[in-house]
Amino acid sequence: MIEERATVAERRTDVAQRRGGALAHPAAHQGSPVAVYDTVTEGMGGWQFLRTARWCGFIAATILFAIICLFLANWQWDRGRQASADNDVVSANFAADPVPIDTALPTLVSYDASQNWQRVSVTGVYRADEELVVRNRSNDGANGFEVITPLELSDGSVLVVDRGWVAPSPDDSLAPGTIPNPASGAVDLVVQLRPSEAPLGSATPTANQIGSITLPRVQQAIGGNVYVGAYGVLDSKSAAANTGLAPIQKTMPTEDVGLHYSYLVQWLSFAVLGFVVLGFAIRKEYRRLNSDDPDERARATERLHKRARKAFTDEELEDEAIDGYLPLTRWGITGGRASTGAPRGALTRTQASLDPEGETGAQAPTVSASPEIYVIEAKSTEIDDEVDTKN
């Protein structure tokens, strides 16, 4: 015990000198080996190291990381709730009875998010000479064009109608294939309302092609009193939809709600994981700084005993089959190996000790260029009164 206290005192003195710069230059020791310590925490006991700037920074960083994760988790929660609300709106509108357009859109700029995919009845005449196509539109995984045709109503207002999808031309992938002409004369349609899209690409149509159904831009291209709040997708169940074009939406669209909630769980897990990692780091540092404490040494010995009791892992068995021996690290021995020419048993008391400090049993072997070979006896024997390491 006196020797232990002397060793601790020497280490603390050495650290104090190193902090003061007295041992900053190894040359001052005339070639003698100089121990290298962490001068920030070395010599501290108990949990004192947690009060250092370094560990306060680690703790603050972990808390900040957790706050960021909680913020992102809350963001995903909000997105999940919004997706659920959007799905409810679509579910209520997609198969509902159609309402007259004057009721659904009383003005040219009318539209509300609660009207998404609402079914609307409208009567008018197609203005086929002002038809446009929207490029880069996907349908069942294929890329093509959507055909939008102005429909002039009896009061002179114009509703943009998305009549359907067409594949690219076999001769030119940048141009649509054959587009069937719209019905002539007055037509009765059932359309589903969709909001005006965000601008994409040039504002000026190129060869009757546009990049997005941005209704104010469409109005500039075709002129007239155009509904700029929403356009209509021709209902695939309507008789008028049989135009030779592929329908835009045959089934009710839904947003993936579960994806947002899975991300929420992941962000919460990351927040918890940050504290788990911090806890492991604190425990490791505590054990290192308090390795001379008798209580901590006893706990380290007990941990080593428990590790030695465990059955051989698949990795150890694989190493044994490949290398022909077992490393003795599980028994607290470095630099040695166990020959497995005979069936595995346990190390005898005279061969090794489970105490990492060498207080019980024989002293652990010294690492050398050619490590000693420790043979595991075929017959299981006791390592310690409290340890049974039978495989």
What sign does the dihedral 65-53-38-29 (CA atoms) show?
Answer: positive
Within this chain, do residues 90 and 107 fall inside the same structural domain, yes or no? no
What integer pLDDT is reported at residue 9 of this predicted model?
61
What integer pLDDT is reported at residue 293 of this predicted model?
80
Structural domain includes residue 263? yes
Give the three-class secondary structure for 221: helix
Within this chain, do residues 115 and 234 fall inside the same structural domain, yes or no? yes
Within this chain, do residues 231 and 105 fall inside the same structural domain, yes or no? yes
Within this chain, do residues 331 and 269 fall inside the same structural domain, yes or no? no
What integer pLDDT is reported at residue 120 of this predicted model?
95
What integer pLDDT is reported at residue 362 of this predicted model?
40
Closest CA to 234 of 170, 183, 302: 183
pLDDT tens digits along 309-337: 777 778 877 877 787 777 666 666 665 55
Whole-structure pTM value = 0.61
Structural domain includes residue 251? no
What integer pLDDT is reported at residue 314 of this predicted model?
81
Ranges under pLDDT 70 in the chain = 1-43, 202-205, 238-239, 241-242, 327-391
For 333-347, b/e burial (b = at least 16 CB within 10 A) is: bebbbbebeeebbbb
Structural domain includes residue 34? no
Within this chain, do residues 202 and 73 fall inside the same structural domain, yes or no? no
Within this chain, do residues 85 and 100 fall inside the same structural domain, yes or no? no
Within this chain, do residues 90 and 110 fall inside the same structural domain, yes or no? no
Within this chain, do residues 352 and 365 fall inside the same structural domain, yes or no? yes
What integer pLDDT is reported at residue 43 of this predicted model?
67
Contacts of 223 (CB under 8 A, 6+ apart): none
Structure tokens at 257: 């709600």
Structural domain includes residue 30? no
Within this chain, do residues 125 and 188 fall inside the same structural domain, yes or no? yes
| Extended beta strands in the chain, E state | 99-100, 119-126, 132-139, 142-153, 157-166, 186-195, 209-210, 225-226, 230-234, 325-327, 337-339, 373-375
Structural domain includes residue 302? no
Q: Which residue has the tokens 């679509």?
A: 90
Within this chain, do residues 280 and 333 fall inside the same structural domain, yes or no? no
Contacts of 132 (CB under 8 A, 6+ apart): 147, 148, 149, 205, 208, 209, 210, 218, 221, 222
Closest CA to 167 of 178, 181, 158, 155: 178
Within this chain, do residues 166 and 218 fall inside the same structural domain, yes or no? yes
What integer pLDDT is reported at residue 279 of this predicted model?
94
How many Cβ atoms sit within 10 Å of the Cβ of residue 145?
Answer: 25
Contact in structure between 178 and 192 (CB atoms under 8 Å):
no
- Which long-range contacts link 202-209 to residues 24+ away (Cβ below 8 Å)? 205/132, 207/175, 208/131, 208/132, 208/133, 209/132, 209/133, 209/134, 209/135, 209/145
Structural domain includes residue 29? no
Structural domain includes residue 7? no
Structural domain includes residue 314? yes
Range of the domain at 172: 96-241
Within this chain, do residues 237 and 108 fall inside the same structural domain, yes or no? yes
Number of compact structural domains in the chain: 3
Sheet holding 337-339, edge to edge: 325-327, 337-339, 373-375
**Helix or strand holding residue 319 (H, E):** helix 314-323
